[in-house]
Amino acid sequence: MSDTTQTGPMRAADGTPLKKSLARALRRQKLRALMLIAPLLIFILVTFIAPIADMLFRSVENQIVADTLPNTVRALKSWDPETGELPGEPVFAGLAVDLQTAAELKIHTKLGSRLNYESPGISSLFRQSGRKVDDIGKEFQKRFVALHPAWKSGETWAALMGSDEWLEQARGWSRDQGPEPRFRLRKSAANALPRTGEVYLAFARDVQGTGRKAVSAEKPWPVLFTALAQDLGQASPEDIAAIDGPAAPLVQQAAAAISSFEPYSYRDAFIQMDKAWGEIGTWEVIKLYSPRYTPAYFLNAVDLELTPHGIEPAPENERIYLKLFWRTLWMSLLITFCCLALGYPVAWLLANLPSSKSNLLMILVLLPFWTSLLVRTSAWKILLQQQGVINDVLVWLGLIDDANRLVMINNKFGTIVAMTHILLPFMILPLFSVMKTIPPTYLRAAKSLGATPWTAFWRVYFPQSVPGIGAGSILVFILAIGYYITPELVGGTQGVFISNRIAYHISTSLNWGLAAALGSILLAAVLVLYYTYDKIVGIDNVKLG
């Protein structure tokens, strides 16, 4: 008899180990499942996850200062505001190059707007200085042109800063061939003249971005002469000698003559432009907000502010955000309770009436969805105002005096009434869907066992409707906490939510960082409340029927 006992691992029909074959089949199955959900997953990532991630990033992002004033920020690192003295000449020299470049690129006003959030009035300083700062560059331009007229030519600068490969491509280029070849810096010139290289690279990209002229045909920016004077004053003879290319002799001549230039005070030039440059507070703000990431937006969102002396409370008249957060939370909870108190009886009636009557009432519940939100909110303005319908009826009935009409609009009461009306269907529908699944025989059985109608309802019916209460409450609360149209129209100054301030900073003040911080805190508060609800009630108990 032959021995048929198998030794080694079990194998599939094709001879591969069975374990490996099963793993391969399972992997293919998972890939097929992933491909099926991939469109939905991509949609969620693009429309939900990515915007939230961008909002979280904007709440701490502060790169505009370091990107717009790179030389100034580097020089400011060694300055201590506690000394009570202005920054040294190197800081003002860096600012001369940075601000001129930013003014040419028309981004200096954006920087002013960013710093204006922290120090009101500083935006006008950058705007006005941006108009005058070219005078510094023009002063140095005169000095270089006096050495040799070729300095005012764009071809001279292109020959100095452009690489040999780019120069060769640019010579054979014509507008008919499309965009000019992308500019590339000459390494020897960029190493010896770092500031000049950075500015000329920005100049070349700006010219090529417009597409109107070739780089060599464009008139050089005055800031190039400021940067060149600073670089030549700091470059070693070896670095100057290493510069190659057609314009190398011109640079060597300028480097030999730079020591004969009349001394120039950048500090005096800026203080002459605007006295604010001579104030330590201006430089404190620039240094304080020079890091690429800042907690300032989150501090402002909780009525604190970042100062040179540390974190301090905001001025008394500017502390509004904590009050708005608290108002938003408790009013959203109150609106949710009002919707529950009004919606529960309606949902019970819909679930227990005959279908013919129930369907008619359901149409009335759904009717608000067929009316514009703006129309419904405006209707409440007409009803609640002091000369509105409700006050007129109360005066006609003699319940109130004409001189003492009720103030029911532009306050918390108006917001609660209007939002309860708007969000009520979102409470009724989940309640109705759950109540419809509760057999009416349960109540009859409880009564037959001796329970009173109230005991039968409270001990038998109500516990089975709790999942609908949970679903409706979560839905209404989440909608209420993020509403801003209705509070804006009927809330006045007392009934607005934090979402109104978020919308204001996004669309009006354009302080997107603060809006992102406020939104992030609101999101965190909702998640905390959601987690607390899950621990107390249990999210698994929430059902829609």
138-147 per-position pLDDT tens digit: 999 999 999 9
What is the distance between the alpha carbons of residues 464 and 350, in angstroms, rounded to a whole number?
Answer: 16
Q: Is the pLDDT of residue 543 over 60?
A: no
The full length of the chain comes to 545
What is the distance between the alpha carbons of residues 125 and 121, in angstroms, rounded to a whole number?
Answer: 7
Q: Is the pLDDT of residue 32 over 90?
A: no
What is the distance between the alpha carbons of residues 315 and 318, in angstroms, rounded to a whole number?
Answer: 5
- From its phi and psi, is residue 519 left (phi > 0), alpha (psi between -120 and 50) or beta? alpha
Q: How do 310-313 and 304-307 pair as beta strands? A: antiparallel
DSSP type of residue 312: E
486-527, pLDDT tens digit by residue? 898 888 888 889 999 999 998 888 899 999 999 999 989 888
The amino acid at 281? G
Reported confidence tier of residue 323, pLDDT bands at 50, 70, 90: very high
**Of 218, 239, 92, which Cα lies nearest the Cα of 158?**
218
The amino acid at 125? L
Residue 1: predicted pLDDT: 45
Please, what is the end-to-end C-alpha distance for the chain in angstroms? 68
pTM: 0.82
Q: How many helices (H) and strands (E) does the chain have?
A: 29, 2
**Residue 34 contacts residue 267 (beta carbons within 8 Å):** no
Over range 226-239, report the average pLDDT: 92
Residue 7: predicted pLDDT: 60
Residue 309 C-beta-side C-alpha neighbours within 13 Å: 3
463-483, pLDDT tens digit by residue? 888 888 888 998 899 999 988
Over range 377-395, report the average pLDDT: 89
What is the distance between the alpha carbons of residues 361 and 73, in angstroms, rounded to a whole number?
Answer: 68
Contacts 24+ apart (CB under 8 A), 85-93: 85/280, 86/267, 86/278, 86/280, 86/283, 87/283, 89/265, 89/266, 89/267, 91/283, 92/266, 92/267, 92/269, 92/270, 92/277, 93/230, 93/266
Angle value at C-alpha 22, between 21 and 26, nearest 5 degrees: 120
Residue 13: predicted pLDDT: 65
Over range 229-240, report the average pLDDT: 92
Mean pLDDT of the chain: 89
Residue 99 CB: number of other CB atoms within 10 A? 26
**Residue 461 contacts residue 373 (beta carbons within 8 Å):** no
Residue 12: predicted pLDDT: 62
407-455, pLDDT tens digit by residue? 888 899 999 999 999 999 999 999 999 998 888 888 888 888 888 888 8
Over range 199-211, report the average pLDDT: 91
Reported confidence tier of residue 540, pLDDT bands at 50, 70, 90: low
The residue assigned the tokens 């992002």 is 61
Any residues with CB less than 8 A from the CB of 297 and at least 6 apart, and which? 59, 60, 513, 514, 516, 517
356 class by beta-carbon count within 10 Å (0-12 exposed, 13-18 middle, 19+ buried)? exposed
Residue percentage of the chain with pLDDT more than 90: 51
46-73, pLDDT tens digit by residue? 888 898 888 889 999 999 999 999 999 9
- Please report, for residues 125, 128, 278, the alpha-carbon distance to residue 109 in angstroms, rounded to integers and kept in the order given: 9, 9, 20
- Please report, for residues 136, 190, 208, 237, 336, the alpha-carbon distance to residue 194 in angstroms, rounded to integers and kept in the order given: 19, 5, 21, 15, 62
Domains and CATH numbers, the chain: 62-292 (no CATH), 321-541 (1.10.3720.10)
Over range 364-386, report the average pLDDT: 87
Strand partners for 56: none
DSSP type of residue 370: G
- From its phi and psi, is residue 106 left (phi > 0), alpha (psi between -120 and 50) or beta? left
Over range 101-120, report the average pLDDT: 93
Residue 162 φ/ψ, nearest 5 degrees: -85, 145
Over range 266-284, report the average pLDDT: 94
